[in-house]
Chains A and B, each alone.
Chain A
Amino acid sequence: MHQVGVIGDLDSIIGFRALGMTVKPVEGPAEVLSALKSMVDEEYAIVFLSEPAADDPEVQAFLDEQRHMHIPAVILIPSARRKATIGKEQLRKSVRKATGFDLLREM
């Protein structure tokens, strides 16, 4: 059995507490990183990461390192303050990497 975690600013993620997820409010990339690391160590199944929290080179580098791990699945979710763009961008990036084409553009 594995838990589900949420990392992000308090406003966007507090509701997930009512679903039984582990909610970790963070501010600043350093806190994001340490929260992510602890969730990876505790073998969470899924970590939902709010997009502003993922928008940092160090966090991105850490996520890239985790690319080959099966769990946790780190999934980006939109926050209350900003529209979601990075999640789509990442999906597009992995398509480009795998196929050599940007196939999602026309979709």
Chain B
Amino acid sequence: MAKRRANPNRMELLKLKNQLNTARRGHKLLKDKRDELMRQFLEIVRITADLRGEVEELLEKANQEMVLARATMQTAVVESALLTGLPPLQLEVSEINTMGVVSPVFALPSTNNNETVEQVDVTRNIALGSSNLPYGMTSVSGELDQAIDALREVFPLMLKLAERENQARLMAAEIERTRRRVNSLEYVLIPELMELISSITMKMEENERANLTRLMKVKDMIVEAKIKSGRKYRTQTSD
């Protein structure tokens, strides 16, 4: 650690003391922020872990269904069945702010948007897990229907998982940053300021003592001079 040097005078001392006060206050605030962030983060992580378990389980089931479906049909048939004219799924992204961490929130577009009715219907169907499938019934086996249904069932959970996991990730980064700042205040800036302040006070005290001894010495010299001159005077007058 490179040592900072400061002039030992009162102005500097006052400035450093103010700085130390600010640093202490900032440290306390940041520490509180870190603790609260941590609390919320753990809550989110717990939810995320549960969600993830659930989603993974459901997706594995859906995957099994899909494997079954593909076993009963040719790859080309499955692919062409799923290559539909569905409008691409669009999500509305808004933001929420938790403790200064801005994270996105995903939502299926709401109905009061000025979209075409058709599109709204489709998205609604997805959200509700309706059985309207985007392909014809003739060439496709029932297993595929089940697989798609299973996926539709998971989808809202996946959306939620994405939201939470993203939030957890962003919060973890923020906690890390805050912790670094807390530590650098606690272990670097505040000790450094305290050391500087004590060294300045010590130097000022030392100066004070030096001054005092100088004054005493000067006084001694004056008295000595007076005594000497007094003697001279007395010897002169006694004659």
Contacts of A15 in B (CB 8 A): 62, 66, 82, 147-148, 151
1/0 contact string of B26-51 vs chain A (CB within 8 Å): 00000000000010011001101100
Q: Separation in Å of the B233 CB from the closest CB of chain A?
A: 84
B84 CB–A CB distance under 8 Å = yes
Interface of B is mostly: helix
B210 CB–A CB distance under 8 Å = no
- Contact status B175-A77, CB under 8 Å: no
Given A70-B103, A71-B93, A84-B56; A46-B48 close (CB under 8 Å): no
Task: Please tell me the number of chain B residues within 8 Å of chain A, measured between CB atoms.
Answer: 64
B90 CB–A CB distance under 8 Å = yes
B137 CB–A CB distance under 8 Å = no
Contact check: which of A22, A73, A77, A78 meets B166 at CB < 8 Å?
Answer: A73
Contacts of A79 in B (CB 8 A): 63
Contacts of B135 in A (CB 8 A): 18
Query: In chain B, what residue has the closest Cβ to A3?
Result: B88
- Contact status A80-B63, CB under 8 Å: yes
Contacts of B216 in A (CB 8 A): none
In Å, the complex CA distance between A103 and B38 comes to 12
Contacts of A77 in B (CB 8 A): 55-56, 59, 158
Among B143-197, those with CB < 8 Å from A are: 147-148, 151-152, 155, 158-159, 161-163, 165-166, 168-173, 175-176, 179
Contacts of A94 in B (CB 8 A): 45, 168-169, 172
B87 CB–A CB distance under 8 Å = yes
A30 CB–B CB distance under 8 Å = no
Contacts of B1 in A (CB 8 A): none
Contact check: which of B64, B86, B176 meets A97 at CB < 8 Å?
Answer: B176
Contacts of B148 in A (CB 8 A): 15, 18-19
Q: Which residues of A contact B (CB under 8 A)?
A: 1-4, 11-12, 14-22, 45-46, 48, 67-68, 70-71, 73, 75, 77-80, 83-84, 87-88, 91, 94-95, 97-99, 103-104, 107
